[in-house]
Structure 1
Amino acid sequence: MSYFLSAICFCLLLLSPCLAQTPLPDTYNVVWTTPGRDAGESMPCGGGDIGLNVWVENGDVLFYMARSGTFDENNAMLKPGRVRLRLSSNPFRGTDFRQELRLAKGDVVISGGKARLHLWVDVFRPVVHVELESAKPVTVKVMYESWRFEDHLVRGTELRGNSYKVSPKFEVITYKDEVAVSGNEIQFYHRNRADRENVMAYTVRMQGMAAVKDQLFDPITNNTFGGVLVAPGMKPAGTDTGTYMNTRYRSWALVSKPVRTQQIDVVLHVDQTPTLEAWTAGLAKIRQEAAATRKTALARTHDWWAQFWNRSYILIEGPDSTVSRNYQLFRYLLGCNAYGKWPTKFNGGLFTVDPVLTNKLYAHTPDFRLWGGGTMTAQNQRLVYHPMLKSGDFDMLKPQFDFYLRSQRNAELRSQVYWKHNGACFTEQLENFGLPNIMEYGVKRPEGYDPGMEYNAWLEYEWDTVFEFCLMMLETERYEGRDIRSYVPFIESCLTFFDEHYQLLAKQRGTKVFDEKGQYIFYPGSAAETYKMTYNSTTVISALRVILGRMLELPAGYLPDAQREKWVTMLKRIPPVPTQYLEGGHKTLAPAVAWARIQNTEAPQLYPVYPWGLYGVGKPDLDVARNTWQYDTLVVKYRSHVGWRQHNIFAARLGLTDEAADLTRRKFADGPHRFPAFWGPGFDWTPDHNWGGSAMIGLQEMLMQTDGRKIYLLPAWPANWNARFKLHAPYQTTIEGTVVNGKLERLIISPESRKADVVLPERR
């Protein structure tokens, strides 16, 4: 597609009537008129950093609770529990049943038999609210259910839900929770035990880091999580046992007299405290704050969701409206962890359910998720967080950025302990304490093997994935105007590792630290998990070129002269992005200059297109990148929409409209579960958040791409996709518009001073 700047057309667009504030269409709400069969037919509800899976089964209303940071001794991410609500006589068994997720308000309403149940989560306090209204008196019984009512030996495939992954030479136990009923309250908590070695201590010992153990950031020791269920006017109703799906549980019940209204709150608390008493005091403080703000909490929560939806949107009309509907549904899932201490997990987020409903091979407890609870995989996490830039969800990037900032010192200590040099070394399959996952690191290692290396065919020498988060940190300075001085030392530490480590490796092999051109020798390296033992990996070179360039483009005052000169020198030493000629004489991007083997099925040769933006619409050598898409046999072979595959993004950035549209339709097609945006498991778990994130990125890139100050509109947008949209661009810019039959009918650019930077598509 060719582009031009047309002053006449542009002025006409700007003179069009301003777009009214666009509320989210009610048609995007998810409405069910029959109850569910099991937790696999649940509906998400959440806010702040709490997620609920809500469903009605045999007349009972049930919901799982999840919250950010609930890591146990084994680094599994445990659910605080399950709540069951039973009304007598039961109004939710009739033909007038209705369950609705109201996106604009962020809540769920269940109705039937002249009764209405309202479930919502306070965005600003960790409180779940359940509010019942009934035209005739009903008896309410609420049950708190826990499958962790006794110690549980974890073995076999269930170990894949924590950081051990496989059986060590000792028993791995999920320890029981403490639950107590007092009056109209049920209190429950899990406190990580201090009398046994936890998985972090084991990891530190097995990875030879014991000498610096006291300096390491530790999120596991003394971590305590749980809460209290409060039901005014209700009284204890005993305990019971049962089995849900394949898991035994115990329940603690409260019951009401016949009532027309009933309020039930669940207050959740997560904290690392020196004593249980300190945690209990923290829970009491949250309760006091929640009570003080009760009258305004619902209105403030509704206001938050309203501004969330008005930050940005893509609303497609016609037969492809499912694409934009599921775009909003997935963005809702991300919004439920806007303010968590910990980032949204790619492998299920806050919305996993009984694992047998995702994969029958994993008949374990509801705490299970494949790829662990505290383990963070950057290759997947990046896809969850990258779309938040164009959607304007800058506040939601903080949990992911903070994850890295907390881990920085641990990553730097790795470099110092193993290699006696500086810089933060971040591996793949990274724990929430900044060290490699112990199983991926390898406990059975050859004699003399480098102790800083993962003994792992997929992950060896894969150290560059952190740079995509460095890029997001840098992008917030451009997009939001954020002062990123707190991020700069982190980015510099990641750059320092590559500078010092590859000079060290070169010295170990020979007398020269650079090649004959004075450039780095990035060997051994890796191009994603696919091309291994690489010489000058394309992913490494692209990342370093972009991050160094962006650091040098920061406004005055960010870098002292000495640091600026250091990065100028490093940038000069980065080799060019490798290319190659394939059969037929087609010049393409290469995954590396050379490699020893192929291990996985990714397309790192297209990473210069995304995420690094060195090739694409409006940039030189677009044909080289398009040749890679068309003629590289492995790129073609593994082209797909499933899971973390990002071919839809590549197609959009290459201006390949038909291909981008086809892959995006498939990405955004309804998932296999009742809730349309519960995709997966793909390569990971359900709901697959890197599936949803990559779908979001692709759709955004079809509509708008940026290059420096340039803003390209409709670079890969089908002519038959009529839409209204609002997206964010660098330099605190928002773009709002309406597309009709492939043409921009209305356009609002804020601030107007940015209109000269907008590149419009050629009229079709």
Structure 2
Amino acid sequence: MGFFRRLASGTSLVYLTQSALAIQLPPGYDTVWTTQSNNSAGSMPVGGGDVGLNVWAEAGDILFYIAKSGAFDENNSLLKLGRVRLSMDPNPFEMNANSFEQHLNINDGYITFTGDNNTLIKLWVDTVTSGIHTEITSDNHLNLTAYFEAWRLTERPMGSGEEVQTSWGVNSVSEIPLPTQYPDKIDYRHNGVLSYHHNHDTPLTTFQISEQGLGDADPSSFFNPMKNNTFGAFMWSRQLHPGAITSGAYNGTNFTAYNLVSDRLSKSFKLYIGTEQSASTNIDQWAESFIKDALKMEMASQHNTIEWWNAFWDRSYIIINPDAGPDDSGFQVGKNYQYFRYMMACNAKGEYPTRFNGGLFTFDPSYVNPIWYPYTPDFRKWSGGTFTAQNQRLLYWPLLKTGDYDIMQQAFNFYQNILPTSRALGKLYFGLDVALTSEQIDNTGLPNVYEYNANVFSNSQTRDPVLYPAGIDFNDWLSWYQDTANEFVDMILQAKMYNGLDITPWKPFVEYQLAWFDEYYQQRNGLESNGTLIIYPGSGAETYKLAFNSASTVSGLRKTLSDLLSLNQNWSKGNATYYAQYLSRVPATPLHSCPGYSTLTCVAPALNYSFTENNEPTALYTVFPWGEYGLGQPTNLSYAINAYFNDTQSATYHGTYGWRQDQIWFARLGLTEEATANIISRLTDSTTYRFSAFKGPNYDWSPDINHYGSGAIGLQEMLMQTFALNNTQIRLLPAWPSEWTGYFKLQAPFSTVVTANITGPSVSNLVVVPASRLSDVVYGTE
């Protein structure tokens, strides 16, 4: 019998038991290793608040990297705070030790190591303070040395290619200077080790303002999270004192270690590492306040953190084949779906969104590719502070059905924070009070340096002021790609629809982002004779360029405006009458005869376009994210199915990894076999890295978080769909394989929670709260 059914039998008793005791994930979801790792690529994630650690044992030592949300340096790299190494003497973890175990306790959110002489190390991160706690006990008396290893201690120019971790650009070009890596400060303070980085200047923003013709603008008017940003760690223990300063190298990167050593042998130790990130101009005051707070860490109880994790898991779950064993593909899919949620939850209280390209859990880049990326542990491809909405959206869409609305707000706040910049750009370049929001956008709201003028830098081309006016990225991949922010607009609206979230803080972003498409294109092109917008030049994602009425844009506007009107909110820039009129101006989604199949009708990527650059079948955006085509909708489903299978222009635009969305489309089209094969490929255990939910780099980086976000959406849509009939229909098991059993709890629109057991093509013990929504439930593809 499954874990869920072991709790109790019978519908009422099952759910009474659940309400009394938070659900526990199956014990098999814990990750347990009985051998040490070779290097940081064999690390295991743990975290909380806004801190993530990569934790591993190597050659008898315990090591972990510390990453913290918002640790942006002068170049907009997202830096590690440092690396910690723990060594004991006599060593219970020496390579010939009799016993070893590293154990991720997923339900309670912590890691343990066990070694000889009943030695136990517990490592956990406080979900309130983001402080790191290490507790050591042993039957043997031990000496402990805790090393804080830092590698940014001198000012140096970055090497060619290394600048990819910054927001200076994705390529080295002579017109853009190679950035300088500025040093951290590290020293012994208050009997501990204080390490921090303070941004004295913002050369990146200065360059952007000049490059993008903003010289007359007041730099202080731009939101700038790099300005005076200060972040660091303070490591201390009552049982340790400052020791020698040593040096070494890890994987080709030199480091200096500030060491804390034990006063005497002991059977137990407690080590604390506080973390902090905030803007400050008074560094001494910042440091003293930070250290004062860190010295209070010994009063914290892990009980509160465990309670937080238990409540988090009880919000939502999809458990598949819980008794099948670790080698079963369905079991692995369910487990790694939960690990995606886990990695997102480690930044649940972060001010900034989790990065699609590694999140808080990147490791030494040479273990991703030793030839291409021989850089420091700070390196990741596609920057640390550039918001690539096309990728980021895949991390946040699945949080609607998991009920993780607190985590979603990071992405909403990102856009609201940069709105003053986005509006200033709209006024400066086009004289419109709208949000000009680019796709590859820095956390300042300004387009990424390289992307803004990529065709100038790489091809020595001159801007055509008609096709590429100032303010629009001059870049074959990203030009006129303004509509991915619409997905975050609709997430905000749906968060209100799902659980009544107060969306007042983000209403300005919603309105000014939508205003771009109505006001700009009317200004540029006027209206068609039938009164609809002429959305040209536009873009179908990165693929269909200089597009006319891109399907992804017009279908998205129709869905977003419909959701806006359904909420019956009070708006400030527009009102219900305006938005109803705006909706009537949105063109129809284009259709055409399928290229290569003249007798078949396909959703078209656009009415027309000039060239293709990437390889996404954006006609399928009408299926997801926008749901215009799908099970239960009044549109002709065959048009979308034909667009996937019978459009020869996009026949090669398919895949099972990275940011691709095929499994989501299959699920929404009711194609069970295809969805299942794809989701198994995507969510089964990694064969590249030791931790089962570390895959990549795919198109981006390792671990590839948007790979898992896309997979999470696909699995949810295989199980429960809620987009049809104005978000009222609850469709269960529309693309669910008959060999998968288990249980689930998911959120649905209108403050609805759906819980049930699954036995292949049927459910049992179905509970829908409120009960009035039970009449909205349908099954399969009916």
Which category describes the TM-score, using the shorter chain as reference length?
Answer: over 0.9
Q: 1:402 to 1:263 in 2, by over 3 A?
A: same
1:276 to 283, 287, 295: 283
1:269, 1:282 within 8 Å by CA — same for their partners in 2?
no
2:511, 2:574 within 8 Å by CA — same for their partners in 1?
no
1:51, 1:351 within 8 Å by CA — same for their partners in 2?
yes
SS at match of 1:417: helix
Q: 1:285 to 1:501 in 2, by over 3 A?
A: farther
Match of 2:361 in 1: 351
1:140 aligns with 2:154: no
Match of 2:293 in 1: 286
Match of 1:339 in 2: 349
Q: For structure 1, which segment, 614-623 or 657-666, has the greater mean C-alpha deviation from structure 2 after superposition? A: 614-623
**Cα distance in 2, alignment partners of residues 482 and 151 from structure 1:** 46
1:705, 1:715 within 8 Å by CA — same for their partners in 2?
yes
TM superposition shift of 1:224 = 0.5
1:60, 1:86 within 8 Å by CA — same for their partners in 2?
yes
Q: Which amino acid aligns with 1:18?
A: Y
SS at match of 2:416: helix
Match of 1:47 in 2: 48
Match of 1:522 in 2: 535
Q: Which amino acid aligns with 1:250?
A: T
**Cα distance in 2, alignment partners of residues 652 and 60 from structure 1:** 46
Match of 1:624 in 2: 639
TM superposition shift of 1:17 = 5.3
Match of 2:5 in 1: none
1:184, 1:233 within 8 Å by CA — same for their partners in 2?
no
Unaligned runs of 5+ in 2: 1-8
2:129 to 121, 125, 130: 125
Q: Which amino acid aligns with 1:246?
A: G
**Cα distance in 1, alignment partners of residues 640 and 515 from structure 2:** 30
1:125, 1:286 within 8 Å by CA — same for their partners in 2?
no
Match of 1:585 in 2: 599
**Cα distance in 1, alignment partners of residues 151 and 393 from structure 2:** 33
Match of 1:681 in 2: 697
1:574 aligns with 2:591: no
Deviation per CA, 1:226-263: give whole Å up to 9, x if none.
12101212122211111100111111111112111111
TM superposition shift of 1:19 = 7.0
Match of 1:28 in 2: 29
TM superposition shift of 1:447 = 5.8
Deviation per CA, 1:154-195: give whole Å up to 9, x if none.
12110111011235554521111111114630011110123x
1:18 to 15, 31, 51: 15
2:30, 2:103 within 8 Å by CA — same for their partners in 1?
yes
2:216 to 211, 215, 218: 211
Match of 1:220 in 2: 226
**Cα distance in 1, alignment partners of residues 190 and 93 from structure 2:** 28
Match of 1:381 in 2: 392
Q: Which amino acid aligns with 1:39?
A: S
| Larger RCO (alpha carbons 8 Å, 6+ apart) | 1
Deviation per CA, 1:602-660: give whole Å up to 9, x if none.
11100010000111011121121122222122444222111000000000011101000
**Cα distance in 2, alignment partners of residues 457 and 171 from structure 1:** 23
**Cα distance in 2, alignment partners of residues 393 and 50 from structure 1:** 18
1:150 to 154, 158, 163: 154
TM superposition shift of 1:26 = 1.0
Match of 1:737 in 2: 756
SS at match of 2:607: strand
Query: Residues 80-95 of structure 1 correspond to what in structure 2 (within 5 A)?
Result: 80-93=81-94, 94-95=97-98
TM superposition shift of 1:598 = 1.0
Q: Which amino acid aligns with 1:110?
A: F
Q: Which amino acid aligns with 2:758?
A: V
Match of 2:113 in 1: 110
Q: 1:13 to 1:560 in 2, by over 3 A?
A: farther
TM superposition shift of 1:95 = 3.3
1:75, 1:373 within 8 Å by CA — same for their partners in 2?
yes
Q: Which amino acid aligns with 1:410?
A: T
Query: Residues 356-755 of structure 1 correspond to what in structure 2 (within 5 A)?
Result: 356-360=366-370, 361-442=372-453, 444=456, 446=462, 449=465, 450-506=469-525, 513-555=526-568, 557-559=569-571, 563-582=575-594, 583-620=597-634, 621-671=636-686, 672-706=688-722, 707=724, 708-755=727-774
1:120, 1:128 within 8 Å by CA — same for their partners in 2?
yes
2:617, 2:644 within 8 Å by CA — same for their partners in 1?
no
**Cα distance in 1, alignment partners of residues 573 and 148 from structure 2:** 60
Unaligned runs of 5+ in 1: 1-11, 507-512
TM superposition shift of 1:560 = 6.7
SS at match of 1:131: strand
Alignment length (residue pairs) = 740
Match of 1:201 in 2: 206
Query: Residues 154-303 of structure 1 correspond to what in structure 2 (within 5 A)?
Result: 154-165=158-169, 166-167=172-173, 168=175, 170-182=177-189, 184-194=191-201, 197-212=202-217, 213-256=219-262, 257-284=264-291, 286-287=293-294, 290-291=297-298, 293-294=299-300, 297-303=301-307
**Cα distance in 2, alignment partners of residues 547 and 638 from structure 1:** 26
Deviation per CA, 1:451-483: give whole Å up to 9, x if none.
201110000000000000001100111111112
Deviation per CA, 1:282-332: give whole Å up to 9, x if none.
4145336645x52xx311100000011111111111332111011111211
SS at match of 1:594: coil
SS at match of 2:93: helix
Q: 1:562 to 1:352 in 2, by over 3 A?
A: closer
Q: Which amino acid aligns with 2:337?
A: Y
Q: 1:186 to 1:338 in 2, by over 3 A?
A: same
SS at match of 2:576: helix
**Cα RMSD for the two superposed structures:** 1.8
Q: For structure 1, which segment, 369-378 or 482-491, has the greater mean C-alpha deviation from structure 2 after superposition? A: 482-491
1:19, 1:736 within 8 Å by CA — same for their partners in 2?
no
2:631, 2:669 within 8 Å by CA — same for their partners in 1?
yes
Q: 1:663 to 1:129 in 2, by over 3 A?
A: same
TM superposition shift of 1:486 = 2.2
Q: Which amino acid aligns with 2:672?
A: T
TM superposition shift of 1:490 = 1.3
**Cα distance in 2, alignment partners of residues 182 and 587 from structure 1:** 71
Q: For structure 1, which segment, 643-652 or 180-189, has the greater mean C-alpha deviation from structure 2 after superposition? A: 180-189
Q: 1:246 to 1:561 in 2, by over 3 A?
A: closer
1:57 aligns with 2:58: yes
Q: So what's the TM-score if we normalise by structure 1? A: 0.94
Q: Which amino acid aligns with 1:514?
A: L
Q: Which amino acid aligns with 1:211?
A: D
**Cα distance in 1, alignment partners of residues 545 and 650 from structure 2:** 16
Q: 1:712 to 1:276 in 2, by over 3 A?
A: same
Q: Which amino acid aligns with 2:225?
A: P
1:98 aligns with 2:137: no
**Cα distance in 2, alignment partners of residues 437 and 17 from structure 1:** 52
2:511, 2:573 within 8 Å by CA — same for their partners in 1?
no
SS at match of 1:91: coil
Identity of aligned residues (%): 38
Q: Which amino acid aligns with 1:131?
A: E
TM superposition shift of 1:762 = 7.6
1:13, 1:747 within 8 Å by CA — same for their partners in 2?
no
SS at match of 2:505: coil
Q: For structure 1, which segment, 596-605 or 60-69, has the greater mean C-alpha deviation from structure 2 after superposition? A: 596-605
**Cα distance in 1, alignment partners of residues 609 and 178 from structure 2:** 41
Q: Which amino acid aligns with 2:772?
A: S
Q: For structure 1, which segment, 371-380 or 753-762, has the greater mean C-alpha deviation from structure 2 after superposition? A: 753-762
Q: Which amino acid aligns with 1:637?
A: T
Q: Which amino acid aligns with 1:644?
A: W
Match of 1:7 in 2: none
2:273, 2:294 within 8 Å by CA — same for their partners in 1?
no
